[in-house]
Structures are given as C-alpha cells and as structure tokens.
Structure 1
C-alpha cells in the first residue's frame, strides 16, 4: 500500500514538472502594449530588418485584432512580406486586406503592392541578368500583375501609384503578347492552324501597339494560307505590308534550318516544349471543334537517333 502511494506521489510530481517544462512557450513573447509593438515594427521596416518587421506585425495582428493599429498593420505587413522576398505571402495578405477593407482610403496601395509583387516575381534573377527568352516562360505572375495594375488604374486613376503602374503595364503587355506568339508558333509547328490563327488575331485585337503585332500578322497569314482561306490571308498581308513594309517574313515551318538539320534530316532535333495553357487577359473565343488535335509523340530513344530512325 505504501509502495503504491509512493509511486502515485512520484507520478504526480513528474506530471507537474512536465507541465512547467513544456507549458512555458506561451510566455516567450512579452506582453507589449499595442503602440509599442507597432512602433517597433515601423522601426524595423525603416532600418531594413524585414524579418523582424514581419514577426512584429504578425504578433500585433494576433494579439490586437481589433486595435487601432490593426488595419494599418495589415497594410504594412504586405510591404514587409514583399521586401522579405515572400511573394505568395504578400499576395495573400493583399487579397485579405482588399476583402476585409474594400473602402479603406489606402486600398489603392494594396492593389499596387499586389501587382508589384507579381511583377517582381515574374522577373526572376536569371531573366534579369541572363539572355533568357521570356516569351517561352509561364506568364501566370505577369497576368496577375497586369490584372492588379489594371484594376488600380480603372478604379483609382488619380492614385499616386497609377503612373508607375501604367509604365509597368506597358512592359507586361509586351511580355504577354510575345508569349501568345510563342504559343502560336508552337501550334503552327504542330499543324493546329486554327488555334494559331486565333492566337495571332487575339494579339492584334487585344494587345495593340506591341512589338509582337507584325509577328501576329505573319502568323495569321501562314495559318490562313494553310487553311486555304486566301481572302483572310490577303487581308492580313495587306495590313502587314501597309504598316510594316520592312518586315522580313519567313514561314515558321522553315525557320532556323541549319546545315546540321539538313544533314540529319531533323532526326536529332529536340522537340519544342509545349507551352503552358493560358486563356489570356480577355476571354478568348473557343477554338473550332473541327480542328484536328495535335497527337502526342513518343520520345525517341538514343538508338533511334543514332541510326537516324532507320530501324524504327
């Protein structure tokens, strides 16, 4: 009996000790006043200590969700995430602020930060300093940035952030138009001429005054000729000749032919990578159901390439 009581007392002491050891995490952060916590977050932002600013703003929002600095802290948190290179968190915080405070007097800043975050996310380190073709990259972040800046200019044209947003939209339009041409070229190489013609027409109608316009017209010419639509091809050719008389047009199916390609009958060429699906900024008309779908090709083995496909 005494032995069982001793074991019971030891177990109770052990439980109390365990609670004191593992239950102290809630008191790690001091219970600071709201104003002091907000001022520390601002000081961290001004000094460039963005991880500390994120920590302080998150703690402020968690402990004082209805305080007088709550709305401003949510807005500052978007900027802190952006400067701390957390684009997904910044965009999520911007969406949350826009949803919770649609009539806030600084909501234009939230739209601007959302667009700026996606803009910088689209321009990665490699695209900034290396000669990489952006037209072949997924334009998801560019679309998000364009939509945010477009909403900012549409709803708040007098915003102090509107001029910078408008300048960035010019770059984004050129980027999106170049991607559409990249997709159209891929469709032509696969024989999907209806889809290619629609992509070219989309650029001409929805993304005017971009450097990709002559390429879009050339895509339309080649696609309409392949579809045996001479009137549409002649119309596109007339527009191309009238507006871009010095444009040198070369059929996409015949471009980039090298001596090595001719010697190997293109058997050793790498297949172009399929572009990511994109519906563009505006709603695109559905493609014709009569268009033949491009059949996927099986990857060729090293033996097949070395023997020029003779034993396939």
Structure 2
C-alpha cells in the first residue's frame, strides 16, 4: 500500500513538474518567435535605408548642380554617416561644407570643414576646407562699428591656406580677403581712436593710431593714422613726436590732403616736419614703404 501511494505520488509529481516546465518553454518559444520577427523587420528596415556610397555621392552632386542645396547637403552628410572614413566620405565632407556655405548655413559648413581638417589634414582637399572655413567667417564680417571676431577668424583661416598650401589655387583669393580683413581691423582701430580724440583722451587715441601704423602699415588707413598722430601729439605738447609723424607722412604721402593739413598745423606753432632717428616712427616709415604692396 505504501509502495502504491509512493507510486501514485511520484507519478502525480512528475506530471505536475512537466506541466510547469512546458509553460515557460512554450512562452519562451512564442516570445523568441515574436522578437525574432521584430528584429528581422528592424534589421531589414535599417538595411533598406543604407545606400551605396557612390550612389549617395552622385545623388548629392546632382542636387548640388540643380541648385537644391539643402538636399545636396543632406546627401553628403548621409555619405559621411553611413560610410565613415571612406574616400566618398572624405570628399563629401568638403562638398557638404560647400553646399551649406552656399545655402548660408555657416555653422553647418564649419562643422564639416573642422571635421575634415581633424581627420584628413594632409589630404588634397585640406586647402579647400580651410578656404571654405575662411569664406564662412568672411561672409559674416560686420561693419567697423561692431566687434570684429569674425574678421580675425577669417584672416586666420585664409592665412592657413597661404602658409600651408602656397601652390593652391585658392591662395590669390585668400590673400585678397586677408587684405580686406586687415583693412577692416585697421578701420575699427581708427574708429575707436577718433572717438578718444574727440573726447580729448589723447593718450588713448595715440595708442590706437600707433597700433594702426605699426600693425596695419599696408592698409589705406595708415595715412590718416599718421595725421591723427600729429594732431594728438601736438595737442599734448609732444612736438617732437608730432614732427616725426608728419615727416613719415610727407615721405610716403607727399601729395595727400592729410599731409597738407598736418603741415599747416605744425606751421601754426612755428614748427615743421622733422625726422626722429631711432624712434618707432622711423622704423614705421620703413615698414610703410616696404609693405604697401604686401599681403
């Protein structure tokens, strides 16, 4: 009887355990089946969104040639995202930067040029990447009454083109834009100097005008800067400095109205232009003469 009970109990226990085992197995199979189907769907969808690099690149070029700049930029960006570090991705970075630049999306363009320069500093398109960088800043240069950080960044980028890639086709235009940028910075200094001069803050004015003569000697503002130095120094009673500035002005711009006005001012005090050997102005005279046609 005991054996019978044991047999019955044992049999019941086996069936119960089998039933309990079958439930999670069935559930696992069902879940696995669903997950597998979902994963397959997601994977297929992902694979379907990836296109060959050359196809994307040619689509981007077609959009660019048709003037669809936003679409072109998106396609170039897709090449870089889907096929990173490939040859097409490398080219897409600079072409995408160009498309964004033409669309006026300067921040997006700069992000792409900076990525290119970081990844491929020695590749053929690096000069173009620096050039596009310069153009993005150049197009955002404000008038001289405002802060000039964009001007400085533009000059820095174009200098990279000139110094790193002297044989590049972008060098001449970079030099021209550097000249414009330097003229802009000199104009800003002149604007501030005039402000101080009008307020009779002569020392502050002299500092600005001297900075123009020493740092921007090949810009169109140096002529006025020298005349303003005559005026400010004369007002302070620094006649030697005033005479020396007038002498440099006369040597380099003898027919200018600025020189005539400075000469007249000195004459009103019984003075005339006179060189001052060894002064910073005599050194500036050499820089002005040698730098008139420079970058």
TM-score, normalisation: structure 1: 0.63
Instruction: Report the CA distance between 1:154 and its aligned residue.
Output: 1.3
Q: Which has the larger radius of gyration?
A: 2
> Are the equivalent residues in 2 in contact too, given 1:214–1:247 (CA < 8 A)?
no
**Partners of 1:41 and 1:229 in 2: how far apart?**
65
1:76 is aligned to: 95
1:148 is aligned to: 157
> Are the equivalent residues in 1 in contact too, given 2:227–2:258 (CA < 8 A)?
no
Change in Cα spacing, 1:63 to 1:164, as seen in structure 2 (3 Å) is: same
Alignment partner of 1:247 is 2:284 = no
**Partners of 1:68 and 1:135 in 2: how far apart?**
42
Alignment partner of 1:90 is 2:109 = yes
- Aligned ranges for residues 291-306 of structure 1 at < 5 Å? none
Change in Cα spacing, 1:173 to 1:66, as seen in structure 2 (3 Å) is: closer
- Give 3-state SS (helix, strand or coil) of 1:102's partner: coil
TM-score, normalisation: structure 2: 0.67
> Are the equivalent residues in 1 in contact too, given 2:190–2:221 (CA < 8 A)?
yes
- Aligned ranges for residues 213-292 of structure 1 at < 5 Å? 213-245=222-254, 246-248=256-258
Instruction: Report the CA distance between 1:161 and its aligned residue.
Output: 0.9
> Are the equivalent residues in 2 in contact too, given 1:38–1:73 (CA < 8 A)?
yes
* Count of residues in correspondence between the two structures: 220
- Aligned ranges for residues 107-122 of structure 1 at < 5 Å? 107-122=126-141
1:174 is aligned to: 183
Q: Once superposed, what is the RMSD of the aligned Cα atoms? A: 2.7
Q: Which runs of 5+ in 1 are unaligned?
A: 1-15, 124-133, 252-312
Kindly provide the CA deviation profile for residues 33-53 of structure 1, in whole angstroms up to 9, marking residues without a partner as x: 222111111111121111001
Q: Which runs of 5+ in 2 are unaligned?
A: 1-33, 263-295
- Give 3-state SS (helix, strand or coil) of 2:197's partner: helix
**Partners of 2:180 and 2:250 in 1: how far apart?**
26
